[in-house]
Amino acid sequence: MAGEAASALGLSMVVLAEHPDDAACAVASEVVIGTPRKLDDLRALAERCQVITFDHEQVNLDYVAQLSREGAIVRPGADALHMAVDKGHMRSVLVEAGLPVPAHVVIENGPASFDALRAFGAEHGWPMVVKTTQGGYDGKGVWQLGEASEAADLLEALAQAGPLLLEELVPLDAELAVMVARRPNGERVTWPAVETAQVGGVCREVLVPGRLDPSVTEAATALGGQVADLAGAVGVMAVELFWSKGQLLVNEVATRPHNSGHWTIEGAVTSQFENHLRAVLDLPLGLTVPQYPHVASVNVFGGPAGHPLESLLPRALAFDGAHVHLYGKETRPGRKLGHVTVCGAEAETVRARAWGAALALGSPHPPGLDLPDGVTT
Amino acid sequence: MAGEAASALGLSMVVLAEHPDDAACAVASEVVIGTPRKLDDLRALAERCQVITFDHEQVNLDYVAQLSREGAIVRPGADALHMAVDKGHMRSVLVEAGLPVPAHVVIENGPASFDALRAFGAEHGWPMVVKTTQGGYDGKGVWQLGEASEAADLLEALAQAGPLLLEELVPLDAELAVMVARRPNGERVTWPAVETAQVGGVCREVLVPGRLDPSVTEAATALGGQVADLAGAVGVMAVELFWSKGQLLVNEVATRPHNSGHWTIEGAVTSQFENHLRAVLDLPLGLTVPQYPHVASVNVFGGPAGHPLESLLPRALAFDGAHVHLYGKETRPGRKLGHVTVCGAEAETVRARAWGAALALGSPHPPGLDLPDGVTT
């Protein structure tokens, strides 16, 4: 999707990809085969680019810092990336700035960790949440512990996973996400906060503006901007929030275009992808105003049947106003394959159409999420 | 732009290009190096594709027909392409169907052509318009003759150009264009007709809905649909119209996405590029409803200064809501390099912003076209 935005602006995007058939390669002007986990591969990319940016955070921060020292322009830089790469660091930066986060503690996984975990549970209650501080995404690297007796196995399994984040299980009234685009000089624009629905830690739908009171949405939008400033983000940043007992808490951050912002492609004047490019290239940022009263964006996952998406596309495109985005990935059960966005005047109509098209593409109905009236699998 | 739409839908686009650095190659999944003027190059393309379509009409119709006979799916087919490739044929098909066109005659350029030209002038007045029936576009292949004495030189220069179309010089009150998307089964959708401004035969701006009475726009939209049906178009078709003395006349047609339809990328629910792909792949067509009361799209041409666009982009993107599309071509005076679209509530505001951004990109002010108030070069 970043490649599509780059093409529109006449920019040449060079992609560092592990395989020439990776989806991003199809729209890249040029492909460098390699991995961000090797410094020499990153150097080969840097030689071809004016500016290096990211679409994931599986990044070695030492290499990023080294590239910068060697004269490459890397945006966001290592400091901002650190917020996204290391959840423990992210929490401590937010706490230091007085921003609201769930109760938590970071522990080294070692001989004392069982006691630390039991103490945290005694203070903040069970179940609790255990996260690896690095490497998790889309629900990976996150576990719920119902009681202390379950801890030993998990701690053993995570012996090599580095520091762990113990966190209170926040009773959720809703989840929100805010996308911010920020230039090197700190100038920034913010899309309005949206409501997200996660199942198993994976985003299933994004509703704009969602069902929360506008005052909550506005407070969330402002909080997102504060977090981006604090991180010194350059490019687009996603800030995921909990809404719990009348309070907003920062849950996760990502310093890149994010699933919560896919709705902006059709739903806002400027998409997150275009503003990400504009921000990292230090160009004026585009307007973030929504273009419709309501937007719904629903993720498409591979279903158990494994029908090829191609054969299902006609049914999905028959839904009025369904903007189908497929990521060029092979169908596999549970794999995120694309998303559908629908914009319009009525919240229920756009949500129903987006779900209708997503289910038509073979995406399963996630358990525990209410489908709109009239939508059936 | 078709490549960007293909990428969004997860489709693989294979491009037949003469050079690997042609702009379309940057977003193609695959490139076949060759020319549509060689049957074997077209065969090499056909081997890699489910469906072949076009983004220009410099096409050998015999080869297209041959490809179809060999089992390739070519959309639009040779018959529809014939309408776009041969202006004489296009005029005769429209006349036969009773659709309105300028007074004209097709002549073979030979010993009798000077007399034929003088006779046409005597009947329809001077100046008259002379066009090559094939190979013209963007003002190329079109001449105005002020009087009979100017004819000899032109006829000599066009001795090898094939049949010529002589046409009355229509007194223009306005020009319009209609984009239609049509599936193989004849199902079609039509975007509302737009007003276009041409200078020297080249489109400079597109205004949606434009300044004409809605009844004219509606009649134009309906006429566009009739022409597409008559052509048996599959994919997107552009129908360019004259509005003259209270009458609509069909001027030109193109059986492909067209400059007059670039506004649909941001201005309509579904873009001409996406619906072209949906139509040629026989998928359900997307809604063509405009998303804003007013849209202005202004073409960007290389100016005499020859500034690289990159250095001018910051100024252009500073215009609120300016969607800048650059085609990845090297700057050259007079070359069409891109376009800018702005959408909004007020006709004058969107036009002023689109022109502001286009001029900021170094595009010259075309003589004879009034700029919006407050916009200066």
The answer, yes or no, to whether residue B40 has pLDDT greater than 90, is yes
Contact residues, chain A, for B4 at CB < 8 Å: 4, 7-8, 27
**Closest-approach residue (CA) in chain B for A22:** B29
User: Got the DSSP string for B294-360?
Assistant: EEEEEEEE--TT---HHHHHHHHHTSTT-EEEE--PPP-TT-EEEEEEEEES-HHHHHHHHHHHHHH
In this predicted structure, what is the pLDDT of residue A307? Answer: 76
The answer, yes or no, to whether residue A1 has pLDDT greater than 80, is yes
Q: What tens digit of pLDDT does each residue of A255-295 get? A: 999 999 999 999 999 999 999 999 999 999 999 999 999 99
In this predicted structure, what is the pLDDT of residue B86? Answer: 94
Least confident of A127-136, B275-284, B317-326: A127-136
Contact residues, chain A, for B325 at CB < 8 Å: 8-10
Residue B46: band (very low, low, confident or very high) from pLDDT cuts 50, 70, 90? very high
In this predicted structure, what is the pLDDT of residue A18? Answer: 93
The answer, yes or no, to whether residue A362 has pLDDT greater than 80, is yes
CB contact under 8 A, B27 and A9: no
The answer, yes or no, to whether residue B237 has pLDDT greater than 80, is yes
Give the C-alpha separation, A309 to A328, whole Å: 10
ipTM of the complex: 0.93
Mutate which: A1, A4, A7, A21, vs B, most B CBs within 10 A = A7
| Residue among A10, A269, A327 minimizing CB distance to B327 | A10
CB contact under 8 A, A27 and B3: yes
Q: What is the mean pLDDT of residues A99-108?
A: 96
The answer, yes or no, to whether residue B134 has pLDDT greater than 90, is no
Q: What tens digit of pLDDT does each residue of B213-224 get? A: 999 999 999 999
3-state secondary structure of B258: coil
Give the C-alpha separation, A263 to A272, whole Å: 9
Contact residues, chain B, for A29 at CB < 8 Å: 26
In this predicted structure, what is the pLDDT of residue A134? Answer: 87
Q: Which residue has the tokens 């839908």?
A: B9
Look at B37 and B315; give whichever has higher pLDDT. B315
* A-B contacts (CB, under 8 Å): 88
CB A38 within 8 A of CB A58: no
Mutate which: B15, B30, B283, vs A, most A CBs within 10 A = B283
The alpha-carbon gap from A5 to the nearest alpha carbon of chain B, in Å, equals 8
In this predicted structure, what is the pLDDT of residue A313? Answer: 96
The alpha-carbon gap from B54 to the nearest alpha carbon of chain A, in Å, equals 19
In this predicted structure, what is the pLDDT of residue B64? Answer: 94
In this predicted structure, what is the pLDDT of residue B307? Answer: 76
In this predicted structure, what is the pLDDT of residue A369? Answer: 92
Residue B143: band (very low, low, confident or very high) from pLDDT cuts 50, 70, 90? very high
| Residue among A7, A278, A338 minimizing CB distance to B317 | A278
Contact residues, chain A, for B28 at CB < 8 Å: 26
* E strand intervals along A61-220: 104-107, 128-132, 142-145, 164-168, 174-182, 188-190, 194-199, 202-208
Q: What is the mean pLDDT of residues A36-59?
A: 94
In this predicted structure, what is the pLDDT of residue A135? Answer: 79
A111-120, A343-352, B140-149 — most confident range: A343-352
CB contact under 8 A, B10 and A287: no
**Closest-approach residue (CA) in chain B for A279:** B314
The answer, yes or no, to whether residue A137 has pLDDT greater than 80, is no
CB B229 within 8 A of CB B155: no
For strands A30-33 and A14-17, give the pairing.
parallel
Tell me how many degrees the CA angle B263-B268-B269 measures, rounded to the nearest 5: 145
| Residue among A27, A320, A338 minimizing CB distance to B27 | A27
| Residue among A7, A269, A321 minimizing CB distance to B27 | A7
Eight-class DSSP state of A171: -
Look at A376 and A295; give whichever has higher pLDDT. A295
The answer, yes or no, to whether residue B58 has pLDDT greater than 90, is no
CB contact under 8 A, A7 and B338: no
Give the C-alpha separation, A279 to B126, whole Å: 56
- A98: tokens are 């007085």
pTM recorded for the entire structure:
0.95
Query: CB-side exposure of B286: number of CA atoms within 13 Å?
Result: 26
The answer, yes or no, to whether residue A138 has pLDDT greater than 80, is no
Contact residues, chain A, for B286 at CB < 8 Å: 317, 321
The alpha-carbon gap from B77 to the nearest alpha carbon of chain A, in Å, equals 22
The alpha-carbon gap from B288 to the nearest alpha carbon of chain A, in Å, equals 9
**Closest-approach residue (CA) in chain B for A27:** B27
Give the C-alpha separation, A30 to A13, whole Å: 7
**Closest-approach residue (CA) in chain A for B326:** A10
The answer, yes or no, to whether residue A188 has pLDDT greater than 80, is yes
The answer, yes or no, to whether residue A34 has pLDDT greater than 90, is yes
The alpha-carbon gap from B58 to the nearest alpha carbon of chain A, in Å, equals 24
3-state secondary structure B267-308: HECCCHHHHHHHHHCCCCCCCCCECCCEEEEEEEECCCCCCC
| Residue among A7, A313, A321 minimizing CB distance to B4 | A7
CB B329 within 8 A of CB B277: no
Contact residues, chain B, for A338 at CB < 8 Å: 10
Residue A374: band (very low, low, confident or very high) from pLDDT cuts 50, 70, 90? confident
The answer, yes or no, to whether residue B145 has pLDDT greater than 90, is yes
In this predicted structure, what is the pLDDT of residue B207? Answer: 98
The alpha-carbon gap from A189 to the nearest alpha carbon of chain B, in Å, equals 13
Contact residues, chain B, for A292 at CB < 8 Å: 291
The alpha-carbon gap from A12 to the nearest alpha carbon of chain B, in Å, equals 8
The alpha-carbon gap from A16 to the nearest alpha carbon of chain B, in Å, equals 15
3-state secondary structure of B68: helix
Give the C-alpha separation, B79 to A39, whole Å: 56
**Closest-approach residue (CA) in chain A for B308:** A10
Residue A312: band (very low, low, confident or very high) from pLDDT cuts 50, 70, 90? very high
